[in-house]
Structure 1
Amino acid sequence: MVSSEEKRKCIENVIELSSNEETKNIALKNLYQVLLKDTLNGKLYKYRSFDDKGYALANLNDGTLHCSKPSEFNDPFDCKIGITFNSIFKAKYESEFDVMMEIYNEFLSVVRNEADINDYTDDVRRLIIKLQNNTIITDFIKANDGKISSEQEMGKFLKDNSNVIIELLQVFLEDDYFKDTLGVCSNMMPQLVEKISPTGMLVLSDENATYEDFAKANGVCEDADEIELTMLMSEKISPELVDARADIMNLIDDKDNQINTKLVDLFFVGCLCTDYKNRLMWSHYADSHKGFCVEYDYSSLTEAEMLSLPLPIIYAKGRPLLPWKAALDNTLENISEATAQITLGLLTKDDEWKYENEWRILVSSSGSTEFKMPKISCIYLGAAISDKNKAKILEIAKRKNILVKQMKIDRGTYALHAATIFN
């Protein structure tokens, strides 16, 4: 089995190189090599159950794969991008906070007589002067500048000097430039930071602490996601900020609905795997071993056929996050980055599903749901298939000269075996 990291790099390579015909062929050949490495002799499999309308048998007869809407999948996380308050905040305000840090560092240079205040622009000079005029900040720097050299010392600093952090934030957030660009957060942040408990400040400095730890340190113990915990902490710490919370939740809900609704309607998806003996797959997708499994042969494709290659699924503990930069600022660079993130989102699943070792065919939702597949090299009948359905499969197999094997349950171990019944 190829690692998820290798598969991720392969997909990123396909995304990056697909815009150019020459480099696209290089990316597809690399993808094909990954497929061959991840499979047994280049074979991919589709588990099927018998349906009343005969769609599964029609696909078998026609050599096609039915591709479904992601909304029909049994995993509610499938083909959807996650969102967190931190990812929104980072996309919307990271550049402003970078500027704050730059100005703070310039302020330190002036305090240390390493720079002349007159060398800066009017906006920077104005903020440096405001920092210089704040005695809480300047007294702290005179007493502590250069003393914080470890994480433990930073933790103690946060616990003992939250008032200094508040003063720094207020200097920036009361400035017209930052007040305008930070919007609702300029109203929320100073009050929230001021009211965070000393224990909460200490948790912030611990790289091993979870967001739930931080919430608990501030009196919120509900079983909830990061966004809801953030809102609950804000409600507990600053109940008066009702309008600011409403503005943030409207932004989250609006962008989430816009992108994820479009995402699940963007493609039809065909699902394949790399193992015909997977007992869980037989149970889940082949009607408790009463269905069948089709083997598709990818071992010798032409260059033209490589255009229809499936893509591997990446299994991960963390969800791909919504590309907020593109949602908030539609620059070409942001849109390009978002396209890559969204594609990876379609191809990333919770690692609880890694036993499937899935490969996916993505078909535009404007096209057909029935995808023409490579040659069928074998059909595997479930260990509990009925005689009636077995006869239906054999009729198609004999007409098309396809090898058929019957799965049998091992008498002594948790294993399946495939016995040839038509060759």
Structure 2
Amino acid sequence: MDQPITSFYKYFTINQNLFNSLINNELYFSNPRYFNDPFDSLPRYKLCSDIQKLEKFYLFIQKHINEKIDIIRNLKDFEKKKLDFESLLEVFLKVLFKFDESYYNEIGNYEYKLIEIFTFYNNPEYFKEAFKVNSIELQNKMYADYAFLYIDINKFGVACGSTTQTCPVMWGHYGNNHTGICLKFEFCDDTGNQSICLSKDEKLEIVAVDYNDSPLDIFNLDYDELENLILTIYKTKCSKWAYENEVRLINNSQGLLKINNKSIKQIIFGCKTTPKDRYSILKLISCLGYRIDDLMIAKIQADSYELKIERMTIEDLAGSGVYLEELNVKKPF
């Protein structure tokens, strides 16, 4: 049985966004479509040549989209847009059949996309023609439509962290070339209950990323498995990213979420942070009433390419104009 995930380390650039997060007790949950991995939340899948399996997937999406029929029919200019997409589909299926940018540019927002999906999945002739002309493109479209209906339209947000605090590559990519900081967040209180959210009614899904190069066998899944595929999609990344040891918090909305500042237990300063930046951060958290268990700093080692995390000393603030009484820290520092 897997051990529960109780904490992660999150890297930050020292800038106004970090200051705002600390001042307002907030954590940002991003749209995974904007992450630096183009396959994020869209892991690769096994191609299938079995028309019956593909048709089963087509009918699954048809069932799902038709459950939203009342919403879709009430969208502005539904009938006109449906006719427009019927004409567009005729062109792509009989002339080009590649759902490239010129096709998707016609789908400028979620409402258009819903009507397009409704149109495609309520005419079985489109499926038959698509399979005959280009079955791979059909599969690409159905997978993208599944992701849209189960992930994109729900606007789930993701906050990413790591179980490691010593990887130089992580500090370089996400800690602004080692000039930033890393915060340790603990997700649960002493009783084991999730406590990272300020509101007790808020609960986050916490998952460790699975680094796996095997494509998902989506066309072999039954309806129940397809309904529950979302978390697998969110947590699957290729093995090239394994050095990140990533942990993800998944929220049911994107943007800023109020968090319990008691969940921040440790601050680690990058090895290239300036004494002035270190002092500014410490003074800020002191003024805000944070109680940090450990103030740490990353140090370059003489005999390895890993960083060593050490407890901060007064020497790490030398030249910053430090006045210890302002910092409300434990002594000796």
* TM-score bin (small chain): 0.5 to 0.7
> Do residues 66 (structure 1) and 28 (structure 2) align?
yes
CA-to-aligned-CA distance 1:202-253 (integer Å, 9 cap, x gap): xxxxxxxxxxxxxxxxxxxxxxxxxxxxxxxxxxxxxxxx986425355324
Distance 1:75 1:295 in 2: 24
The CA deviation at 1:56 is 1.7
Residue 173 of structure 2 is matched in structure 1 by: 284
Note if 1:252 corresponds to 2:142: no
Task: Structure 2 unaligned segments of length 5 or more: list them.
Answer: 57-128, 196-202, 314-328
Counterpart CA distance in 1 for 2:215 and 2:131 is 27
Q: Which amino acid letter does the alignment assign opposite residue 311 of structure 2?
A: A
Q: Distance in 2 between matches of 1:289 and 1:398?
A: 23
Question: Which residue pairs with 1:176 in the alignment?
Answer: none
Q: SS of the residue aligned with 1:251?
A: helix
- Cα deviation digits, residues 343-365 of structure 1 (max 9, x gap): 21111111221222111111113
Give the whole-Å Cα distance in 1 for the aligned partners of 2:33 and 2:271.
Answer: 30
Q: Does the 8 Å CA contact 1:268/1:369 hold for their aligned counterparts?
A: no
Q: Compute the TM-score of the two structures, normalised by the length of structure 2.
A: 0.60
Is 2:153 the counterpart of 1:269?
A: no
Question: Whole-Å Cα distance in 1 between the matches of residues 206 and 144 of structure 2?
Answer: 28
Deviation at 1:371, TM superposition (A): 4.9
- Encode CA deviations 1:342-391: one digit per residue, 9 max, x unaligned: 221111111221222111111113x6532525521111111011344223
Gaps of 5+ in 1: 1-5, 8-32, 36-41, 95-241, 326-332
Match of 1:313 in 2: 209
Secondary structure at the aligned position of 2:4 is classed as: helix
Equivalence for 1:296: 185
* Aligned position for 2:4: 34
Which amino acid letter does the alignment assign opposite residue 232 of structure 2? L
Alignment partner, residue 82 of structure 2: none
CA RMSD of superposed structures (Å): 3.0
- State the 1:305 CA deviation: 2.1
- The answer to whether 1:398 aligns with 2:286 is yes
3-state SS in 2 of match to 1:74: coil
Q: Are the structure 2 counterparts of residues 299 and 370 from structure 1 closer, same or farther at C-alpha, using a change threshold of 3 Å?
A: closer
What is the count of residue pairs matched by the alignment? 229
Kindly indicate whether residue 302 of structure 2 is the aligned counterpart of residue 340 of structure 1.
Answer: no
Q: Which moved more, 1:243-252 or 1:396-405?
A: 243-252
Q: Tell me how far 1:80 sits from its aligned partner.
A: 0.8
* 2:169 counterpart SS class: helix
The alpha carbon displacement at 1:299 in A equals: 6.0
Instruction: Indicate the residue corresponding to 2:257 in structure 1.
Output: 370
1:416 aligns with 2:303: no
Match of 2:22, SS state, is helix
Structure 1 residue 292, shift from structure 2 partner: 0.4
> Aligned residue for 1:75?
37
- Please state whether the residue corresponding to 1:85 is helix, strand or coil: coil
Which structure has the larger Rg?
1
Which SS does the other structure have where 2:305 is aligned? coil
- 2:237 matches 1:349: yes
Task: Tell me how far 1:82 sits from its aligned partner.
Answer: 2.7
| Aligned equivalent of 1:237 | none
2:55 matched to 1:85? Answer: no
TM alignment of 1:60-209, pairs within 5 A: 60-86=22-48, 89=51, 91-92=53-54
What residue number does 1:50 align with?
14
Task: Render the CA deviation track for 1:244-288: whole Å, top value 9, x for unaligned.
Answer: 642535532431331233434531101111121122111111011
Inter-partner Cα distance in structure 1 for 2:131 and 2:236: 34
Letter of the structure 1 residue corresponding to residue 242 of structure 2 = K
The equivalent residue for 2:66 is: none
Identity of aligned residues (%): 22
TM-score by length of 1: 0.48
Match of residue 12 from structure 1: none
2:160–2:248 Cα contact (<8 Å) kept = yes
